[in-house]
Amino acid sequence: MSRHNKYAIYKGKEYRIIKMGGHLKLISKDKQDVENGFLPFKLNSDLYYKKVKTTDLETAYDVVPFAQYKGIEFQIIRVNEEEGTVLLYSIDSKIGREFGMHSHVGEKFEKYVRTEEVTLIEKKKKISGFI
């Protein structure tokens, strides 16, 4: 549905990337990546990883999910795939009131809406330090 994580391009393919124990690790669900040096995780054999250096990567970026809802763009805080909803977020009190959003802490407004009511958008922000 929507992604919110860090990703990298390695040898022309996109992988989720994490920093673990001082190392960068590419994460894959594709068993064929074992042929490219990926190893299965001990606790989840359906996931594979490969330690890499920053210089091995073509680029890296953070993916942040947004939703277009009734003509306004909101950041997505949470996705509930079972219920088919997304939690929209705004710090604009005028928008919050106009869209019937709930304020839990000061000027932070949230509202669950059905995924059918929104257009999902992924924004990629390049992570500095990568080519």
* pLDDT tens column, 40-82: 999 898 999 999 999 999 999 999 999 999 999 999 999 999 9
Contacts of 80 (CB under 8 A, 6+ apart): 86, 87, 112
Q: Is the pTM of this model over 0.85?
A: no
C-alpha 72/C-alpha 89 separation (Å) is: 11
Among candidates 75, 112, 111, 118, which has minimal Cα distance to 96? 111
- The CA–CA distances, whole Å, from 30 to 14, 89, 101 equal 11, 33, 40
Q: Are strands 13-20 and 119-126 parallel, antiparallel or unpaired?
A: unpaired
* pLDDT tens column, 17-39: 998 888 899 999 999 999 999 99
The pLDDT score that the predictor gives to residue 99 is 94
The pLDDT score that the predictor gives to residue 2 is 64
Average pLDDT over residues 1-26: 88
CA Rg value for the chain: 18
- The CA–CA distances, whole Å, from 56 to 11, 32, 51 equal 8, 19, 10
